[in-house]
């Protein structure tokens, strides 16, 4: 998938915030969650998202989706990774 096609598609799904990001080589994030839905498109390098213990390897042109509040972490390949990230706000859950 190309960047323009990806951005157009996710805007149509309500993803108002779209940003480009770069991760350094061999970086690994700690487990965390986000209060928003996430869609990514990998542009360069490799990114592995580990969600619910299952690794999802993403290479250039691959997309990945994750719902808000899902615990996960990311690992980046030897060359790092450049990707586009879309965020869609979700309504807070009742306490």
Here the CATH number for the domain that contains residue 79 is 2.60.120.10
DSSP lists the bridge partners of residue 18 as 86
Q: Buried (b) or exposed (e) across 23-61, using 16+ Cβ within 10 A?
A: beeeeeeeeeeeebbbbbbbbebbbbbbbeeeeeebeee
CA–CA separation, 73 and 69 (whole Å): 12
pLDDT band (50, 70, 90) for residue 93: low
Query: How many domains does the chain divide into?
Result: 1
Better-predicted residue by pLDDT, 47 or 93: 47
Question: Is 70 exceeded by the pLDDT of residue 95?
Answer: no
Question: Is 80 exceeded by the pLDDT of residue 91?
Answer: no
The pLDDT tens digits for 53-63 are 999 999 999 99
Average the pLDDT over 29-47 and give the result.
Answer: 96
Average pLDDT, the chain: 94
Is 94 a member of any domain?
Answer: no
Domain housing 60: 3-89
Tell if the pTM clears 0.85, that is, is over it.
yes
């Amino acid at each position: 998938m190309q960047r323009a096609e990806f951005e157009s598609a996710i805007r149509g799904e309500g993803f108002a915030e779209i940003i480009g990001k770069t991760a350094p080589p061999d970086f690994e994030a700690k487990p965390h969650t986000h209060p928003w839905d996430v869609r990514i498109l990998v542009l360069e390098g490799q990114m592995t998202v580990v969600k619910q213990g299952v690794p999802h390897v993403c290479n250039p042109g691959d997309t990945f989706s994750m719902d808000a509040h899902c615990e996960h972490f990311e690992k980046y390949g030897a060359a790092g990774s450049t990707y586009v990230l879309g965020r869609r706000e979700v309504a807070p859950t009742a306490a």
